Structure formats: C-alpha cells, structure tokens
C-alpha cells in the first residue's frame, strides 16, 4: 500500500512538472525556466501554501481542482528545494498542515516585500481558476 502511495505521489509530481505530457503538450505549457517558490492563498480561510514548481500556473490548476475554495497566487520567488525548506522552517510556527500556513503578519510581510516582483506579475497573468 505504501509503495502504491509513493508511486502515485511521484507520478503526480512528474505530471505537475509537465514531465508526463506528450512532447506536443509539453511545448504548449507556459513553463518557467527554473523552479519557483510560490505562495498560494485560499481565499476563504486566508491560509497560504508555500510550495515549489517549475510551472506555477499549472500547479495552481492542480491545487484548485482538489479545493472547494478559490485559490490565488499571491507571491512568487525564484528558488530551489532547499530555499523552500528554509521558508518552511522560517514559518514553522505558523504551519497548519503539510505546506499550508496561517497567514500571520510576518508571512504576509515577507510575501509583500520579497515575492511581488516582475516574475509574479508575469506568472499571475491569466492564472486564476474557478
């Protein structure tokens, strides 16, 4: 059972990164050149997910599919898995579950001051899913 869950998680991760799409479909995805750490807010609760993806818009779509509340990208910064882990550690006291965090003022300040640059504007164009 655990092996099946691990395999399913790996397949989902590869799909979200566009690795399992046919070459034609992969080319049509709006992929960023490097991984980005994203901050996605659940509008009903205000909770913020801190995650990493090469294609933040695609990740939003996958997350939205499994969430009954509207989600929105509120910040994006370039980074890798170690940067994501550092942010999880930095805001660990706010962790609700997994990668979801309470939207305390210091997290919101970080997003406003560090994650609202040009890449945020580019990635969030047409990025809202309903």
Q: Can you give the pLDDT at residue 130?
A: 43
Identify the H or E element spanning 112.
helix 105-114
User: How distant, in Å, are the alpha carbons of 21, 22, 48, 91, 97 from that of 33?
Assistant: 17, 19, 24, 27, 29
pTM: 0.71
Provide the pLDDT confidence category of residue 15 given band limits of 50, 70 and 90: low
Measured between its terminal Cα atoms, the distance across the chain in Å is: 33
Provide the pLDDT confidence category of residue 4 given band limits of 50, 70 and 90: low
Q: What is the pLDDT of residues 32-81, one digit of tens each?
A: 568 999 999 999 999 999 999 998 988 999 999 988 999 999 999 999 99
Q: Can you give the pLDDT at residue 116?
A: 79
Extract long-range pairs of 31-35: CB within 8 Å, 24+ residues apart. Answer: 31/55, 31/58, 32/56, 32/119, 32/123, 34/78, 35/78, 35/79, 35/80, 35/81
Q: What is the pLDDT of residues 69-84, one digit of tens each?
A: 999 999 999 999 999 9
pLDDT at 29 over 50: no
- The pLDDT of 110-125, averaged and rounded, is 77
69 within 8 A of 26, measured Cβ to Cβ: no
CA–CA dist 102, 22 (Å, integer): 38
pLDDT at 123 over 70: no
Q: 């164009």: which residue's tokens?
A: 125
């Amino acid at each position: 059972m655990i092996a099946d869950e691990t395999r399913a998680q790996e397949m989902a991760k590869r799909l979200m990164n566009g690795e399992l799409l046919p070459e034609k479909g992969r080319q049509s995805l709006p992929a960023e050149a490097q991984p980005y750490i994203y901050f996605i807010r659940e509008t009903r609760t205000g909770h913020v997910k801190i995650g990493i993806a090469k294609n933040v818009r695609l990740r939003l779509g996958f997350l939205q599919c499994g969430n009954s509340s509207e989600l929105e990208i509120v910040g994006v910064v370039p980074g890798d898995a170690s940067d994501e882990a550092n942010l999880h550690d930095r805001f660990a006291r706010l962790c609700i579950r997994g990668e979801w965090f309470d939207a305390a003022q210091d997290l919101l300040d970080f997003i406003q001051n560090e994650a609202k640059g040009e890449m945020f504007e580019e990635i969030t164009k047409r990025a809202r899913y309903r």
